Amino acid sequence: MTWMDMTESEIREATAALGVPSFRAAQISDWLKKGVRPSEMSNLPKSLREKMAAVPFGGATIFRKYVSAKDGTVKYLFALEDDNLVEGVLMRYSYGNTVCLSTQIGCNMGCKFCASTLNGCVRNLRPGEMLSFLAEIERDEPPKDGKSRTITNIVLMGSGEPLDNYDNVVTFLKRVTSPDGPNISARNISVSTCGIVPKIYRFMEDAPHVTLSISLHAPSDEIRSSVMPINKAYPIGEVLASAKAYADRTGRRVVFEYALIGETNDSHADAIALAKRLKGMLCHVNLIPLNPVKERGLKGVSREHAYQFCEWLNREHISATVRREMGADIDGACGQLRRRVLNELNG
Ligand code: SAH
């Protein structure tokens, strides 16, 4: 157990075990909520801060930061206590600020267009690490204009497959929505999955108030299996059935992500086939022109073509939009920034 992973009662127990007076536990807890490490807890005696070093901190520090000159998007590379690096992004919108967080270092899902999975999954992230990303961003970019917080929305769409790190992600969601913690409304949180069907059914019971996004990326098993190996285990029909169950159970529409890949899933026939599959479902399609990853050899599409594909869907009465491009000048798709910096560091 690390300090950042502890609940308030666990902090009380851990501090009592170190022989610390109980009023200090509340102070420690306040600091940890802000993601502050013991050595920087300035209202504690030095001897106590030293004692606390017996337990690992379990948080992150900002290793690199890149700010987009275009739209103010900030891309962070966080360093963890075991020296692993992982990405997070702060995006500014008119309605608030969204943070995109990673759930694993790397990923095991093997999607053919994604940079995060190129070297597999190094390890799962713990709830305390994910909470620490938020705290570090809040400290780095303090709220402006009299607002009480910078981060209003969270998307778990960084590197990793959230449902492949199920327990840690559910614990993180409980803590981040708790009034004792960051208190971010579940309605302002989206979790994106490649479609691990049995976990989707569990997730709708454990986290019914968050928005579920499913990476669909294809209208047929043939195309989906060619770009997403997970489709061989959970084919598209089962994924769509779980999405429908989710919409029925929660009353919330499911968002399908669809990365448009040139000459793969972007034709008029693909749009019609997709519309046919989604007809009648409470859902929305989020179209993303592929951000080509050089190691992957797949083609992107122009934004114009993405709008055309969107119109083909809309004409079939499928709700769809093309995702806004954020921070295009500071590095692209999932896992690309970490990869580039690791390559630089390793010469
Ligand atoms: N593992 C989760 C979260 C991944 S990232 C999932 O699969 O949903 C969020 C989205 O970005 C996913 O839809 C993913 O498929 C997509 N993505 C990954 N690499 C991309 C790329 N190079 N271009 C466009 N979208 C990409």
Pocket of ligand 1 (CB under 6 A): 109, 111, 113-114, 157, 161, 192-194, 215, 257, 259, 288, 290-291, 293, 333-334
Cα(223) to centroid(ligand 1), Å: 16
Q: Is 10 an active-site residue? A: no
Decide if pLDDT at 147 tops 60: yes
C-beta of residue 290 within 8 angstroms of C-beta of residue 260? yes
Q: Which atom of ligand 1 is nearest to the CA of 111?
A: 15
- Of 168-172, 222-226, 337-341, the range with the lowest mean pLDDT is 337-341
* CA distances to 58, 83, 118, 125, 261 from 80, in Å: 8, 5, 20, 10, 34
For the segment 248-277, the average pLDDT, to the nearest whole number, is 96
Domain that holds residue 90: 60-345
Do 297 and 315 belong to one domain? yes
**Structurally, how many domains does the chain consist of?**
2
Catalytic residue among 87, 136, 161, 257: 87
259 class by beta-carbon count within 10 Å (0-12 exposed, 13-18 middle, 19+ buried) = buried
26-38 per-residue burial string, b: 16 or more CB within 10 A, e: under 16: eebbebbbebbbb
Q: Give the highest mean pLDDT range of 56-60, 181-185, 324-328.
A: 56-60
pLDDT of residue 333: 55
Q: Residue 1 falls within a domain, yes or no?
A: no
Do 110 and 189 belong to one domain? yes
199-235 per-residue burial string, b: 16 or more CB within 10 A, e: under 16: bbeebbeebeebbbbbbbbbbbeebbbebbbbbeebb
Among candidate residues 192, 166, 168, 188, the one with its CA nearest the CA of residue 177:
188
Q: pLDDT band at 253, cuts 50/70/90? A: very high
Alpha-carbon 175 to chain mean position: 15
Mean pLDDT of the chain: 93
Decide if pLDDT at 334 tops 90: no
Do 44 and 168 belong to one domain? no
Q: Residue 255 falls within a domain, yes or no?
A: yes
Q: How many helices (H) and strands (E) does the chain have?
A: 12, 12
d(CA 66, CA 140): 12
Do 98 and 230 belong to one domain? yes
Decide if pLDDT at 62 tops 90: yes
Q: What does the pLDDT look like over 74-126, one tens digit per residue?
A: 999 999 999 999 999 999 888 889 999 999 999 999 999 999 999 999 999 99
Q: Residue 2 falls within a domain, yes or no?
A: no
Q: What does the pLDDT look like over 7-42, one tens digit per residue?
A: 999 999 999 999 988 899 999 999 999 999 999 999
- Mutation test of ligand 1: which of 103, 109, 192, 322 has the most ligand atoms closer than 8 Å to its C-beta? 192
Do 191 and 318 belong to one domain? yes
- Of 61-75, 101-115, 126-140, 231-245, the range with the lowest mean pLDDT is 61-75
pLDDT of residue 13: 95
Do 16 and 86 belong to one domain? no
- Residue nearest ligand 1's atom 13 by CA: 215
For the segment 129-147, the average pLDDT, to the nearest whole number, is 94
Do 127 and 192 belong to one domain? yes
pLDDT of residue 280: 93
Q: Is 283 an active-site residue? A: no
Do 196 and 313 belong to one domain? yes
Q: Residue 263 falls within a domain, yes or no?
A: yes
pLDDT of residue 297: 84
pLDDT of residue 332: 54
pLDDT above 90 coverage of the chain, percent:
84
pLDDT of residue 337: 75
**Global pTM value:** 0.95
C-beta of residue 260 within 8 angstroms of C-beta of residue 301? yes
Find the Cα–Cα–Cα–Cα dihedral 211, 212, 215, 218, rounded to 10°: -100
266: domain CATH number?
3.20.20.70
For the segment 132-139, the average pLDDT, to the nearest whole number, is 96
Strands 74-79 and 320-322: unpaired
| Apex 74 CA angle, 258 and 163, nearest 5 | 45
pLDDT of residue 326: 72
3-state secondary structure of 275: helix
d(CA 234, CA 238): 6
pLDDT of residue 244: 96
Do 171 and 313 belong to one domain? yes
Do 221 and 271 belong to one domain? yes
Do 80 and 209 belong to one domain? yes
Q: Residue 191 falls within a domain, yes or no?
A: yes
Taking every pair of Cα atoms in the chain, the longest distance, rounded to a whole number of angstroms, is 69
For the segment 237-242, the average pLDDT, to the nearest whole number, is 98
Q: Residue 3 falls within a domain, yes or no?
A: no
Contact partners, residue 172, CB within 8 Å, separation at least 6: 127, 130, 131
Q: Residue 88 falls within a domain, yes or no?
A: yes
State the SS3 of 102-159.
CCEEECCCCCCCCCCCCCCEEEECCHHHHHHHHHHHHHHCCCCCCCCCCCCEEEECCC
Q: pLDDT band at 145, cuts 50/70/90? A: confident
pLDDT of residue 325: 76
